[in-house]
Amino acid sequence: MLLVRQLFGSSANSWARALIIFVLAWVVLVYVFVTKLTNSQNQLATSENEINARRINHALQLLEHTKQRNEELKQLIDELMSEQLDKQSALKLVQRLQENDAQNPKLNPGEGEPFGINAAPAVNHNWDDLQLMEVGGGGGGSRGIASEANVGSASGGDGNSIPGANAAAGIEPTLEYEFTRRRIQTNIAEIWNYFSSELGKIRKQVSQGSGAANGNADLEEQINQVLVQGAEHKRSLLSDMDRLRQTDGYEAWRHKEAKELSDLVQRRLNYLQNPSDCQNARKLVCKLNKGCGYGCQLHHVVYCFIVAYATERTLILKSRGWRYHKGGWEEVFLPVSNTCHDAGSTNAYNWPGKPNTQVLVLPIIDSLMPRPPYLPLAVPEDLAPRLKRLHGDPIVWWVGQFLKYLLRPQTPTRDFLTTGMRNLGWEHPIVGVHVRRTDKVGTEAAFHSIEEYMTHVEDYYRTLEINGTAVVRRIFLASDDARVIEEARKKYPQYQIVGDAEVARMAAVSTRYTDTALNGIILDIHLLSLSDYLVCTFSSQVCRVAYEIMQTMYPDASHRFKSLDDIYYYGGQNAHNRRVVIAHKPRTHEDLQLKVGDLVSVAGNHWDGNSKGKNTRTNLGGLFPSFKVEEKVDTAKLPLYNEI
């Protein structure tokens, strides 16, 4: 203390005071610097730890993948050696497989990192605010051959894959991979259609032929055994393809991409339908009361909405006096707009009007002239590259998005659906079956027995159980003929048949256009769309609407159906073209000649390995093998809605 007073109290020691102040300041600066450096190092260490953790995680994934590939290669080599293949050829095969593996983008690190039912996939149903809990507390199965709900989990069912890993790392499947995967799945079904049909014809000839009765009976039994074995092989292949989808590492990306695409379209529709200045907004008037049934009217409104989207006009839906509900659409579903409910006092003009026409009135699609290029089956050009990669039938996805916006229920409708599901004891797994009878049969469609539907239901459940998993066999049966439900319950007691005979009775022609019947058809479509698989006739608009809505609940549900008659179509659509990828020489006078690159306008699939259509190059019609063509996705240049 005395030393301090001497230093600071004497002018002679001023240099000492300055030196001490300098030293103290330097110490303070060093302390601050060291403290900040330590904090920075800690932060850097934390960041490096996170990076290292990600690298270690990725390395573990690669090790698991390598282990799986080694097992596959070992098994393949053993099989090849057992077939007396020379070692040099086997080694060449292994080398080729390894080269393919090295080119696999999955192994390249550093490329970048309407109803909630039964653990639904990440993509929401069309009625987002209706969060229905699983009814009955069961579940007892998956939502399909292999559940799509458990996305992003740490491992697959056997612990050898990490489905969410690639999406987290920013790795996406190529268009070629997704297209090829879906094509293989389709062709598995097509080759079975062909062989089962041809063997069925031979069996029929044998059973009706003359000669040794015992010999014919033995041959017929052999054919039956081939069909049984072939069906099991087909189910195994389809199960393997679904397993491939689950474990290829891209499933989380599919869910993410589907959600982002859906959200984008819904934002665009919301922007279009809620202009800030309704009085001066361009509008398109659509009259709901088209002279047809509920499914047909829904498709009419979707067509109007597509035109409104393409022309950047707010859709005005005229629904007062609706034949199903006199109070109009807005008493059943939410209004299509919150800000613009009528066309205003401006003069309205019929289609096509002029570029400066403010209000246009749209006719039904069958009377539309001129016909614009953006009608179904076209999808928006700006979305097409993403949709082609994501979905097996982009137009069905596109139509489903408009239904998602339109079919948002009012509270009473939502409560009715919730109660209806609870009363029916709705659970998964379940196959939706729609049997259309009454006025449809004999005019627009052929009669199909309940046995025809149940053949495909049985095939679905056998595929589900191919690996020994036992599930409760359950169907939801909807019809416009109440007798069908009773018939099914008598003939198939081993199935839990969920259905309401009263709803079916109200769907009859005499009582179809009532509030009760409307509630019934809304419930039927809702439950059909929620099913894991759909068996129906695409000649029915109800079936097609359910299929379209189903697309809003999965990244791609294009394969979750079996139609007993038509392929998917949209009433009033433009031409449905497919591109030839394998040349075809006519086998009979009924066949088409096809060259690679030809476009075939498709009329239908005979479900026997052959389709019917017209070659646009030769202008000739006929049959052709279904597997020799691929879908041509039509696109149209539509507004980009850059405002959102």
Q: CA-based angle 251:252:255, to the nearest 5?
A: 90
> Can you tell me the distance from the alpha carbon of 121 to that of 557, in angstroms, rounded to the nearest whole number?
11
User: Are 346 and 334 contacting, i.e. CB atoms less than 8 angstroms apart?
Assistant: no
Do 371 and 342 sit in the same domain of this protein?
A: yes
> Can you tell me the distance from the alpha carbon of 449 to that of 484, in angstroms, rounded to the nearest whole number?
9
Q: Which of 248, 272, 300 is the last residue of a domain?
A: 248
The H or E element spanning position 578 is: strand 577-580
The b-or-e profile of 492-502 (16+ CB within 10 A means b, else e) is beebebbbbbe
* Confidence tier at 506 by pLDDT (50, 70, 90): confident
Q: Is residue 195 part of a domain?
A: yes
pLDDT of residue 512: 73
**Average confidence (pLDDT) over 108-116:** 38
> Can you tell me the distance from the alpha carbon of 450 to that of 487, in angstroms, rounded to the nearest whole number?
8
pLDDT of residue 105: 43
The b-or-e profile of 28-56 (16+ CB within 10 A means b, else e) is eeeeeeeeeeeeeeeeeeeeeeeeeeeee
Q: Of 420, 433, 430, give the one whose Cα is nearest residue 496.
A: 430
Tell me which residue has tokens 């998005």. 401
- The more confidently predicted of residues 514 and 384 is 384
User: Is the sign of the CA dihedral 353, 354, 359, 364 positive or negative?
Assistant: positive
Burial class (CB in 10 A: 0-12, 13-18, 19+), 103: exposed
Do 423 and 513 sit in the same domain of this protein?
A: yes
| Cβ neighbours of 389 (radius 10 Å) | 19
**Rg value, the chain, Cα:** 32
Q: How much is the mean pLDDT over the chain?
A: 82
- CATH code where residue 220 lies: 1.10.287.1060
> Can you tell me the distance from the alpha carbon of 259 to that of 151, in angstroms, rounded to the nearest whole number?
13
Q: Is residue 584 part of a domain?
A: yes
Tell me which residue has tokens 């137009």. 395
Q: Is residue 583 part of a domain?
A: yes
HEC states along 290-328?
A: CCCCHHHHHHHHHHHHHHHHHHCCEEEEECCCCCCCCCC
> Can you tell me the distance from the alpha carbon of 72 to that of 63, in angstroms, rounded to the nearest whole number?
14
pLDDT of 565 > 70? The answer is yes
Q: Of 550, 604, 595, give the one whose Cα is nearest residue 430.
A: 550
Do 359 and 313 sit in the same domain of this protein?
A: yes
Number of domains into which the chain is organized: 4
User: Are 313 and 284 contacting, i.e. CB atoms less than 8 angstroms apart?
Assistant: yes
pLDDT of 142 > 50? The answer is no
**Average confidence (pLDDT) over 378-395:** 98
pLDDT of residue 67: 56
Mean pLDDT lowest for which of 199-203, 337-341, 443-447, 637-641? 443-447
pLDDT of residue 288: 97
Find the domain containing 583 and state its range: 577-636
> Can you tell me the distance from the alpha carbon of 296 to that of 142, in angstroms, rounded to the nearest whole number?
32
Q: Is residue 329 part of a domain?
A: yes
How many percent of the chain have pLDDT more than 70?
71
Do 224 and 269 sit in the same domain of this protein?
A: no
pLDDT of residue 54: 61
pLDDT of residue 535: 98
Burial class (CB in 10 A: 0-12, 13-18, 19+), 318: middle
Q: CA-based angle 233:236:242, to the nearest 5?
A: 145
SS3 state at 155 = coil
| Cβ neighbours of 444 (radius 10 Å) | 14
Tell me which residue has tokens 């001490």. 20
- The more confidently predicted of residues 471 and 51 is 471
Residue-wise pLDDT for 278-317, tens only, equals 999 999 999 999 999 999 999 999 999 999 999 999 999 9
| 463-472 CB contacts, 8 Å cutoff, 24+ apart | 463/145, 463/235, 463/238, 463/239, 464/141, 464/142, 464/145, 464/429, 466/232, 466/235, 466/236, 466/239, 467/239, 471/140, 471/141, 471/429, 472/140, 472/141, 472/427, 472/429, 472/496
Do 195 and 239 sit in the same domain of this protein?
A: yes
How many percent of the chain have pLDDT more than 90?
66
* Confidence tier at 208 by pLDDT (50, 70, 90): confident
Do 414 and 537 sit in the same domain of this protein?
A: yes
Q: Of 503, 472, 504, 475, give the one whose Cα is nearest residue 491.
A: 475
Q: Is residue 267 part of a domain?
A: yes
User: Are 635 and 384 contacting, i.e. CB atoms less than 8 angstroms apart?
Assistant: yes
User: Are 375 and 306 contacting, i.e. CB atoms less than 8 angstroms apart?
Assistant: yes
Q: Is residue 460 part of a domain?
A: yes
| Cβ neighbours of 87 (radius 10 Å) | 10
Mean pLDDT lowest for which of 30-34, 106-110, 246-250? 106-110
Q: Which of 505, 531, 563 is the last residue of a domain?
A: 563
Do 371 and 511 sit in the same domain of this protein?
A: no
pLDDT of 589 > 70? The answer is yes
User: Are 125 and 526 contacting, i.e. CB atoms less than 8 angstroms apart?
Assistant: no
Amino acid type, 190: E
Do 537 and 616 sit in the same domain of this protein?
A: no
**Average confidence (pLDDT) over 605-612:** 97
User: Are 435 and 454 contacting, i.e. CB atoms less than 8 angstroms apart?
Assistant: no
CA 489 vs. chain centroid, Å, equals 31
C-alpha distances in Å from residue 446, one per residue of 566, 567, 613: 11, 15, 20
The whole-model pTM stands at 0.77
> Can you tell me the distance from the alpha carbon of 147 to that of 115, in angstroms, rounded to the nearest whole number?
17
- The more confidently predicted of residues 339 and 441 is 339
Do 429 and 534 sit in the same domain of this protein?
A: yes
Burial class (CB in 10 A: 0-12, 13-18, 19+), 212: exposed
Do 475 and 583 sit in the same domain of this protein?
A: no
pLDDT of residue 294: 96
pLDDT of residue 40: 47
Q: Is residue 157 part of a domain?
A: no
* Number of helices (H), then strands (E), in the chain: 16, 16
Do 239 and 264 sit in the same domain of this protein?
A: no
**Residues 6+ positions from 374 with CB-CB distance below 8 Å:** 306, 307, 310, 380, 636, 638
pLDDT of residue 413: 97
- CATH code where residue 619 lies: 2.30.30.40
> Can you tell me the distance from the alpha carbon of 25 to that of 289, in angstroms, rounded to the nearest whole number?
87
pLDDT of 384 > 50? The answer is yes
> Can you tell me the distance from the alpha carbon of 124 to that of 264, in angstroms, rounded to the nearest whole number?
13
What length does the chain have? 644
Do 257 and 354 sit in the same domain of this protein?
A: yes
**Average confidence (pLDDT) over 442-470:** 92
pLDDT of residue 278: 97
Cis peptide before 352 (omega within 30 of 0): yes
Q: Is residue 401 part of a domain?
A: no
**Average confidence (pLDDT) over 422-434:** 96
pLDDT of residue 119: 35
* Confidence tier at 196 by pLDDT (50, 70, 90): very high
Pairing of strands 635-636, 379-380: parallel
pLDDT of 414 > 50? The answer is yes
> Can you tell me the distance from the alpha carbon of 107 to that of 66, in angstroms, rounded to the nearest whole number?
10
* Confidence tier at 136 by pLDDT (50, 70, 90): very low
pLDDT of 2 > 60? The answer is no
Residue-wise pLDDT for 46-95, tens only, equals 555 565 556 556 555 655 655 565 565 556 545 544 444 444 554 554 45
pLDDT of 335 > 80? The answer is yes
pLDDT of residue 297: 97
